[in-house]
Structure formats: C-alpha cells, structure tokens
C-alpha cells in the first residue's frame, strides 16, 4: 500500500528530499494540518505517518523517501491551504452590513462634531478618499447582489395562446435594408415578402421570408399599408428595431447558383409589375448574370458577374419573361393595311441579311404577295411568325 502511495506521489512530481534527515520524535508525529479533526485528508495523512513510523526502523526500501516527502514544508503548506478551502466551503459568508457606504457617511458626520485630533483627521481623509469610497460602493453592490439582472415581472393579462415574438435590431447606415414586404391577402398582416441576397437583413440572419411584422421602432404596423411601413423605414436612421413573429420553418435555399447570359435587356423603371422598383436589377443584352435565388416563381434574385460584391437584385424569372413577351406580342394593336404592306415590301428582298427572316414570312404566307393579299390573314401570319421567332430566341 505504501509503495502505491509513493508511486502516485512520485508521478505527481515536485518531490524534494533531505538526505540524512533523522526520524522525528513521536511528539512531532502530529501533522500541523490537522486543523479540523473531521477532515478526511488529515485523518489519512495521520494514519500514514503512524504506519511509516513503524516501518522506518526496519529500513524498508522507499520508506525514508516517502517519510521525508510527507514532512516537507511545501506539502504541509499545501495541506493547510486545502483545509482552509474546505472550511470556506462549509461556511456561508454573510456580509457584516449591506450599507457600508451609508455607514461611512455617518462616521464622517460624527467626526466633524468631535474635537479635532490627528487621529480623527486621518480617519476622515481615509473615509473621504475616492478609492476608499469606490471600494465601499463595490462592497455594497456585491453584498446587495445588485450585479444580477432584474427582469421586469410578466403582466397578468398575457393570453396563453399568444405567439412568440422576436426582437430584431439592425444598424442601418447608407445601405438599403435588403428586404421587401407585402400584405397578406386574407389576414391583412404585413409580412416579409423576400430577403435580398447579400443585403443587410440577409447578412444578419435574423429576418426570413414569411416573418410577420408587428412593430417598427415601437410603432405598431397593424392596419397600415405597406407603403406607410416603407415610409417609416425610409425615415429611420441608425438602429432599427423590429418586433416580428418568426415563421415556423425558415426557408432554406438549397438551389445551386446558375450563370446565364442575357439575350434581351430589362429596365425595372419601365416595369410596372415589379414588386420593388428600387430592388430591381437592370441588365442589357450580353450581360452575364449569377442567379442566386429561384425560390420565387416569378421574380429571381441575381447580380452581375462584374459586381459580385454588391447586393443582389430582382429580375423576372424565365417563366415570367416568356409570359410578358407573349402578352406583348399578342396585345399589339391592329396595324394599318399600308404599314403591313410597307413592311413586306421592304423585306421582300431575301438577299438582304437583315430581311432574311421576313423572307420566311413571305414563304409562309399564301396570297400575301405584293399585288394581291388579304390584310387580316397577313397580320395573323405576321404575329404567328413573331411568336415562333420569340420561342426560338428564348431557347437559345
């Protein structure tokens, strides 16, 4: 057993021996660390020392080294520290007073009425020193436990079915918020329609599409139009605080980024159907776009490959663009007879590369030649050809 104790102590390190140390008397066998007779560690050490005293005279291998170890000053000091910590854990420290600073003021007032002496003057200087006042203030703070946060009590009229809300604070500088809102058709609630990729709201990770807006900077949005809410946001500077009801399941964009080349041009200022004109992304034919979000069937989020560090913008989806072009071609007004005739006359020469496609129109038309043709039939052939041309253009 002694060898096991010795090996464990040796592995712990820090063993220092004094060779030639004589065995102490029996009266020195009481360890100085036995401040508490009920302490388990002190009892074990006392028994070990008593057992070592029996084996010391037999000159058992390692006993002298272990005996010197247990009597080393550093181990005795360490055991004293351990005993003090054990006593500290058992005692519950209670401050003598929780208003030491008030007591100090009272003592200073009494000292002013007492006859002056060097002692009273020195005591007044100590009590009125800034550092000592700060020390007493810290003492009272710890004694009164003022450092613990105090939450306001819950109101009694909270219904059990109230939705959980989340408070979102965003610091808005000169950059846009990066989110659009809409009104729910059935409930009339103001919802977050979409969160623009790369915008302030998307980078914060606190707003999601579908979240219900309750308050903006302490102003309730119940009954307000989306335009009024946008006006409140536009007039806000610095920190904007939202109170929202989070969506049950935040949407996850699992789609991969797609790169496309624009085969037409688009100007958000000329599109009355765009949800937010300021969030639109204008592009021209030949621009390469990075599609970052296709969750909306009508409006995608994209950015130009030349400006990947900027916030994404809204562009019409492929489905919406086809629908817009179909509506545009089929909604053209009836063209006059002479205008259609002039078009056919100008493009009758199929050798001209610019009129090669119009030559196909002349081949498709029957009776639609220069001298005798029916204007209504030629108009419909013209529209059918343009529709086919548009479909071929989109499928490139």
Cα gap 293→314, rounded to integer Å: 10
Q: What's the average model confidence in pLDDT over 93-106?
A: 88
β-pairing, 166-172 vs 179-183, is unpaired
> Given this model, what pLDDT does residue 126 score?
93
User: How would residue 130 be classed by pLDDT, with cut points 50, 70 and 90?
Assistant: very high
Q: What is the mean pLDDT of the chain?
A: 72
* Spatial contact of 378 and 384, defined as CB atoms under 8 Å apart: no
Cβ contacts of residue 196 below 8 Å, gap of 6+?
A: 176, 178, 179, 180, 202, 279, 301, 311, 312, 313, 314
What domains does the chain contain, in order, with CATH numbers?
Answer: 2-90 (no CATH), 100-144 (no CATH), 166-245 (2.30.42.10), 258-325 (2.30.30.40), 332-394 (no CATH)
> Given this model, what pLDDT does residue 320 score?
81
> Given this model, what pLDDT does residue 373 score?
43
The conformation of residue 20, written as its DSSP 8-state character, comes to T
Question: Is 135's pLDDT higher than 90?
Answer: yes
Cα gap 345→370, rounded to integer Å: 7
Q: What's the average model confidence in pLDDT over 48-77?
A: 71
Task: Locate all alpha helices (DSSP H) within the chain, ordered by sequence.
Answer: 2-12, 40-56, 63-70, 73-90, 100-113, 118-127, 130-144, 200-204, 226-235, 318-330, 337-346, 356-364, 375-394
Query: 214-228: per-residue pLDDT in tens?
Result: 888 888 888 888 888
Cα gap 171→237, rounded to integer Å: 8
Structure token digits, residue 284: 């021209």
Query: 136-148: per-residue pLDDT in tens?
Result: 999 998 888 877 6
Q: What's the average model confidence in pLDDT over 190-197?
A: 86
Question: 36 or 263: which carries more pLDDT confidence?
Answer: 263
Question: Is 19's pLDDT higher than 90?
Answer: no
Cβ contacts of residue 160 below 8 Å, gap of 6+?
A: none
C-alpha dihedral (27, 33, 36, 40), degrees to nearest 10: -100
What is the pTM assigned to this prediction?
A: 0.41
What is the chain's alpha carbon radius of gyration, rounded to the nearest angstrom?
A: 44
Instruction: List the single range of 60-64, 75-79, 186-190, 206-210 with lowest mean pLDDT.
Output: 60-64
């Amino acid at each position: 057993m002694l060898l096991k104790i010795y090996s464990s102590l040796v592995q712990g390190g820090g063993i220092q021996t004094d060779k030639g140390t004589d065995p102490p008397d029996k009266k020195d066998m009481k360890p100085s660390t036995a401040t508490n007779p009920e302490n388990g560690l002190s009892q074990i050490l006392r028994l070990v020392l008593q057992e070592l005293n029996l084996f010391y005279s037999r000159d058992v291998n390692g006993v002298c080294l272990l005996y010197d170890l247990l009597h080393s000053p550093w181990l005795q000091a360490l055991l004293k520290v351990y005993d003090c910590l054990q006593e500290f854990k058992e005692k519950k420290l209670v401050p003598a007073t929780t208003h030491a600073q008030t007591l100090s003021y009272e003592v200073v007032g009494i000292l002013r009425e007492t006859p002056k002496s060097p002692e009273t003057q020195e005591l007044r200087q100590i009590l009125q020193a800034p550092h000592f006042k700060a020390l007493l203030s810290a003492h009272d703070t710890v004694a009164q436990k003022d450092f613990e946060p105090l939450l306001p009590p819950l109101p009694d009229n909270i219904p059990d079915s109230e939705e959980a809300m989340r408070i979102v604070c965003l610091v808005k500088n000169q950059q846009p918020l990066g989110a659009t809102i809409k009104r729910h058709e059935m409930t009339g609630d103001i919802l977050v329609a979409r969160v623009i990729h790369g915008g302030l709201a998307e980078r914060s990770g606190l707003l999601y599409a579908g979240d219900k807006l309750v308050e903006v900077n302490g102003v309730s949005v119940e009954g307000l139009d989306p335009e009024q809410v946008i006006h409140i946001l536009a007039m806000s500077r610095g920190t904007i605080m939202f109170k929202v009801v989070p969506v049950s399941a935040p949407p996850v964009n699992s789609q991969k980024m797609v790169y496309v080349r624009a085969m037409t041009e688009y100007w958000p200022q000329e599109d009355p159907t765009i949800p937010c004109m300021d969030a639109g992304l204008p592009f021209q034919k030949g621009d390469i776009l990075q599609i970052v979000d296709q969750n909306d069937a009508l409006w995608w989020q994209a950015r130009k490959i030349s400006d990947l560090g900027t916030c994404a913008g809204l562009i019409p989806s492929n489905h919406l663009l086809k629908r817009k072009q179909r509506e545009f071609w089929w909604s053209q007004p009836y063209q006059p007879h002479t205008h259609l005739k002039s078009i056919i006359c100008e493009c009758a020469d199929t050798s001209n590369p610019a009129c090669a496609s119009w030559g196909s129109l002349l081949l498709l038309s029957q009776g639609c030649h220069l001298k005798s043709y029916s204007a209504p039939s030629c108009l419909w052939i013209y529209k059918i050809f343009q529709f086919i041309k548009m479909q071929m253009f989109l499928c490139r």
